Amino acid sequence: MPQLLPIPLFLPLKSNLSYPKQKTSINGPETFVELVENANNYAAIKTGVNDLLRKGIYTAQNEYIYWYRISTSTECYAGLLCGLPSEDCSHPTLTTHEHVLDKRVKHFADYLSATQLQAEPILVMHENISFSDDFTMKIAQKQCTHCYYLGKEKHELWALDAEESQEAIAFALTEKQFHLADGHHRLASSLHYAENKQNCLPVFSFIVAKNQLKNDCFIWALKQLPKQSHLIASMKPKKPLEQASIEVLYGNQKHYTALTETGNAVTFLLADVLGFSTEDDVDLGEYIDYFPPTASLTTDFFESSAPYEAKFFYPSLSLEEIIRTAKALKKLPPKSTYIQPKLPTGLFIAPMRSFK
């Protein structure tokens, strides 16, 4: 029975927003990305956002629950943009499916403490498809409150009125649980911050029906072979005909390691191939470089494992597999999923404030 909370937002004044001119790991409006990249500490980011507000580049909005839609020429995602109480953001009310690393959690919690800003919502999925379909049809008949163009993406916001907000709140109260799709470290950092402050805060969230989301997978590139690895023993020169498998690029040759009938590809890769325990919060950064499916990779990357020991190409997990994993209180290693949509950072900024 998750609660939904209205949230205040800082929104850009312009409707047509540009991407950064230089390569960056942050996807968002150029104005915000440049601010983050040029700031020498977290406090400078807060000062910079205040300056954007003072100059009218961003404007402060009252508290609302929103309906949010992202669309391109081929894709569309729509759901609720709101706050979830930090006290409701743990199992069983909100499930998670990936391990988090303590170092990153502390790092992001320090960012929240210094900036008091949530610049990117976590992505949450629910299983009530009929509500989402019906609400989409109802809201889409109205003109949106705010509309932004970011590259090839169109971002629309509808500020819900009192009746619409109550309908959304009533929907959430009838749901047994929500499931975190993306943003595990951001969620863990928000909870860490709230616990340290002994206060409850709205966690900035985009809540979407499971049938709208898509999962792809990273390419795992092995920098060094763990001593306990079973990689060499597990590799076969031919792909099994009737069994799912992980493709391994080793040297200039493709090999395959067959998956067991139970379990999933990333857990099998972590435990049965690399030899790590699934019970441990393993920081694989020492061993693995990750390449998202959106990365621009050359033909040579797929023809040789160099400069890596090996490269792994595994079948992506279904959303149903991810939900089953979360409900069973099991955890996947970081970078196990690449769930879309990938939300822009700094398009909508939620100032942090407690509600108790």
In sign, the C-alpha dihedral spanning 178, 184, 188, 194 is negative
> What b/e readout covers 183-193, taking b as 16+ CB neighbours within 10 angstroms?
bbbbbbbbbbb
What is the per-residue pLDDT across 97-110, written as a single tens digit (0 to 9) for each? 998 888 889 999 99
Mean of pLDDT values over 25-33: 91
Please report the pLDDT score of residue 271 as a whole number: 85
- Asked whether residue 145 carries a pLDDT value surpassing 90, the answer given is yes
> What b/e readout covers 302-317, taking b as 16+ CB neighbours within 10 angstroms?
eeebeebbbbbbbebb
Please report the pLDDT score of residue 187 as a whole number: 97
pTM: 0.93
Confidence grade of residue 353 (pLDDT, cut at 50, 70, 90): confident
Please report the pLDDT score of residue 266 as a whole number: 87
CA distances (Å), origin 352, targets 20, 62, 235: 26, 13, 50
From 248-252, 260-264, 350-354, the region with the lowest mean pLDDT:
260-264
- Asked whether residue 270 carries a pLDDT value surpassing 90, the answer given is no
* % pLDDT > 90, the chain: 72
What is the per-residue pLDDT across 40-72, written as a single tens digit (0 to 9) for each? 999 999 999 999 999 999 999 999 999 999 999
How many angstroms separate the CA atoms of 25 and 11, rounded? Answer: 21
Helix (H, G, I), strand (E, B), or coil: what is residue 338?
A: strand
- Asked whether residue 290 carries a pLDDT value surpassing 70, the answer given is yes
Please report the pLDDT score of residue 281 as a whole number: 66
From 22-26, 113-117, 210-214, 302-306, the region with the lowest mean pLDDT:
22-26
What is the per-residue pLDDT across 85-138, written as a single tens digit (0 to 9) for each? 999 999 999 999 998 888 889 999 999 999 999 999 999 999 999 999 999 999
Confidence grade of residue 264 (pLDDT, cut at 50, 70, 90): confident
- Asked whether residue 140 carries a pLDDT value surpassing 90, the answer given is no
CA nearest neighbour of 179 among 60, 94, 77: 94
Residue type, 225: L
- Mean pLDDT across the chain: 91
Confidence grade of residue 265 (pLDDT, cut at 50, 70, 90): confident
**Residue scoring higher pLDDT (100 or 301):** 301
Angle at 168 between CA 166 and CA 171, to 5 degrees: 110
- Asked whether residue 235 carries a pLDDT value surpassing 60, the answer given is yes
Highest mean pLDDT: which of 146-155, 232-241, 324-333?
146-155
Highest mean pLDDT: which of 147-156, 189-198, 283-292?
147-156
Q: Are 188 and 334 in contact (CB under 8 A)?
A: no
- Asked whether residue 79 carries a pLDDT value surpassing 90, the answer given is yes
Confidence grade of residue 225 (pLDDT, cut at 50, 70, 90): confident
In sign, the C-alpha dihedral spanning 259, 263, 267, 272 is negative
- Asked whether residue 23 carries a pLDDT value surpassing 80, the answer given is no
Confidence grade of residue 354 (pLDDT, cut at 50, 70, 90): low
CA nearest neighbour of 179 among 279, 266, 79: 79
251: buried, middle or exposed (CB in 10 Å: 19+, 13-18, 0-12)? exposed
